[in-house]
Structure 1
Amino acid sequence: MSNRNEISGELYTLRDYLRWAISEFGRAGLFFGHGTDNAYDEARVLVLHSLNLPLDIDPALLDARLTLAEREAVLLLIKRRVDERVPAAYLTHEAWFAGLSFYVDERVLVPRSPIAELIAQDFEPWLGGMQPRRILDLCSGSGCIGIACAYQFHEARVDLVDISLDALNVADINIARHELADRVSAVQSDVFDLLADQKYDLIVSNPPYVDAEDLAAMPAEYQREPALGLASGPDGLDITRRILRDAADYLSEDGVLIVEVGNSCVALDDAFPTVPFMWLEFEHGGHGVFVMSREQLIENAESFS
């Protein structure tokens, strides 16, 4: 990156800095996938955040001149994104999921699950019109899935469960941020181990599911995320196997399990060839999410054990 003093002496408007950031991202070969998928959107997030401006600003403001202090702030954030390969969400401490804003930092993965689409659809037709009274967000990280579910199902109580105390501290920030402490709780547990005799109408999980080969080949931006939230054994299924084995014991009679395994969907089908996994399709992109009822889990219990 060129000398910051030289750049701040040549670029003056918000539009100038957006264009310059896009060029810098291209030259650096950055990888996008933590809330944006292209250099323009990434630059927009970072530049506007630096200036305390909303993403939906009036286009006329793009030609407004920045003060020297503002130019320095923009340059500093863009430099970190390029030099350190830090995802934009960690630099701004904000990520959007299911239309909601969440606090994030390096203690949790950046929210990006296609499960947001299922939440918007009330998990239909899989819940069959049921309004879940108790919901479990298993391997919750920032708590984005469970909190979004609490917004969608206004009467539901939601548990955010994770093994990581660091992640649960972030989840607590988000519970407070959305003023949901009366219905949403953060609970430490290694999968189901410390949940005693709890029963849930809906268990939703985006567990660690990256296999060892994919983990080693991930771009630098993904290496910034906590490995505990990504890695799950040689085939990416260590945690998913535990969920399948035990979930029926924690579901109500008509309860439903929904799990995201991403690219490990092929490995899951190979691991359990006799199990008829229902793989969901998404209008807005995403794959590797299956749904299974409590009855189906019991029917296939021998395979999962």
Structure 2
Amino acid sequence: MSGEYQLTEQHINEVQQDLKTVLDFARWTMTQFNLANIYFGHGTDNAWDESLSLIAQVLQLPQPLHHDFFNARLTASEKLQVMDLVKIRIEKRIPLAYLTHQAWFAGLPFYVDERVLVPRSPFAELLANGFSSWYETAPQNILDMCTGSACIAIAAAYVFPEASVDAVDISEDALEVAEINIQEHQLSERVFPIQSDLFSNLQGQEYDLIICNPPYVDAEDMSDLPEEFHHEPELGLAAGNFGLDLVDNILKTAGQHLSHNGWLFVEVGNSLVHIPAVYPDLPLHWVNLEQGGDGIFAINKASLEAWNNGEKSE
């Protein structure tokens, strides 16, 4: 558990002397992670993958780390860098992405720090498929609501190269990170960071596609989160007793900002269990995700407006 792990001077000397290769350090790092019982879920879901990711980032090697590198030897300074990261990762329970300031989403690298959540949305699968089940022609105007690091907005700009993408967040801190990533990906002419409390600063704007990954963790889950999540901004996680505080506002407002054939996609994660009771008449399409994950629903403009007007709609 946190605080119990100790990397002593004797241990450091032993590791420095006995371990030589990338594979040696990957195995050792995995063992330390397993002994410390840390939580995975910010880019990896197991000790082996997190070990390889940590080492690849220290050594500036491509990810996923190819086995051709496994027999490569580390220098003394590289060994110390690996051990320092392992020590901090375990003792402080800080997600690896915050230690290295790099995360991946939809196959793309992004700068991250503790001003934004670490990217991990199943929207990556929908983006990889170009939302093909919902659009015959590519959307031209896209909104990424609650953008955080702008990973979804930037991935959408790659998928739809003719589209303009608004990246909206209430947090000025998050938008500073978004701007770093927009500049890094050289997309400043197509991806536009906007400060707004949901749709409040988007009067008159219409979109063919609205993607929203809002805070959706309910009060019960917030109280049970592993330590790693407490390094993330609570503003990006907590959403009331049912995890639907922001979703409610989005459902009541988004229809006014959708084009005639526009679709709204919202991720609600575990809070999907509350949807049937809170919105029994809402005609949602739950997205089937082949690569795992759940909790994304879709609804088109006509259905959303009909529901808001108290009408029946399929």
TM-score of the superposition, structure 1-length normalised? 0.96
- Which of 185, 199, 206 aligns to 1:192? It is 199
For structure 1, the residue ranges without an aligned partner over 5 or more in a row are: none
Aligned partners of 2:65 and 2:49: how far apart in 1? 14
Q: Does the 8 Å contact 1:272/1:303 carry over to 2?
A: no
Aligned partners of 1:13 and 1:303: how far apart in 2? 65
Q: Which residue of 2 aligns with 1:215?
A: 222
- Which of 32, 41, 48 aligns to 2:56? It is 48
For structure 2, the residue ranges without an aligned partner over 5 or more in a row are: 1-5
Displacement of 1:221 in angstroms is 1.1
- Classify the secondary structure of the residue corresponding to 1:63: coil
- Classify the secondary structure of the residue corresponding to 1:135: strand
Aligned partners of 2:193 and 2:68: how far apart in 1? 43
Displacement of 1:110 in angstroms is 0.9
Aligned partners of 2:73 and 2:126: how far apart in 1? 43
Q: 1:77 to 1:303 in 2, by over 3 A?
A: farther
Q: Which residue of 1 aligns with 2:112?
A: 104
Aligned partners of 2:123 and 2:68: how far apart in 1? 36
- Which of 145, 154, 158 aligns to 1:151? It is 158
Q: How does 1:181-260 map to 2 (within 5 A)?
A: 181-260=188-267
Q: Does the 8 Å contact 1:143/1:174 carry over to 2?
A: yes
The C-alpha deviation readout for 1:238-277, integer Å capped at 9, x for no partner, is 0000000000111111111000001111112210111122
- Classify the secondary structure of the residue corresponding to 1:202: strand
Q: What is the RMSD of the two structures over their aligned residues, measured on CA atoms?
A: 1.4
Q: How does 1:1-305 map to 2 (within 5 A)?
A: 1-3=6-8, 4-57=12-65, 59-127=67-135, 129-302=136-309
Q: Which amino acid aligns with 2:305?
A: I
Aligned partners of 2:305 and 2:108: how far apart in 1? 35
The C-alpha deviation readout for 1:133-182, integer Å capped at 9, x for no partner, is 11000000111111111111111100000000111011101101110111
Q: 1:60 to 1:195 in 2, by over 3 A?
A: closer
Aligned partners of 1:27 and 1:302: how far apart in 2? 56
Q: 1:303 to 1:146 in 2, by over 3 A?
A: farther
Q: Does the 8 Å contact 1:269/1:277 carry over to 2?
A: no
Displacement of 1:13 in angstroms is 2.0
Aligned partners of 2:122 and 2:186: how far apart in 1? 24
Aligned partners of 2:233 and 2:310: how far apart in 1? 31
Q: Which amino acid aligns with 2:195?
A: Q
Displacement of 1:55 in angstroms is 2.6
Q: Does the 8 Å contact 1:210/1:264 carry over to 2?
A: yes
Aligned partners of 1:227 and 1:5: how far apart in 2? 39
Aligned partners of 1:95 and 1:83: how far apart in 2? 21
Displacement of 1:7 in angstroms is 2.5
Q: Which amino acid aligns with 1:241?
A: D
Q: 1:39 to 1:172 in 2, by over 3 A?
A: same
The C-alpha deviation readout for 1:54-86, integer Å capped at 9, x for no partner, is 235553432233221111111101111111111
Aligned partners of 1:2 and 1:151: how far apart in 2? 43
What's the % identity of the aligned pairs?
50
TM-score of the superposition, structure 2-length normalised? 0.93
| Over 3 Å off, 4+ runs | none
Displacement of 1:214 in angstroms is 0.1
Q: Does the 8 Å contact 2:53/2:64 carry over to 1?
A: no
Q: 1:65 to 1:224 in 2, by over 3 A?
A: same
Q: Which amino acid aligns with 1:143?
A: A
Q: 1:2 to 1:117 in 2, by over 3 A?
A: same
Displacement of 1:92 in angstroms is 1.7
Q: Which amino acid aligns with 1:193?
A: S
- Classify the secondary structure of the residue corresponding to 2:256: helix
Displacement of 1:209 in angstroms is 0.3
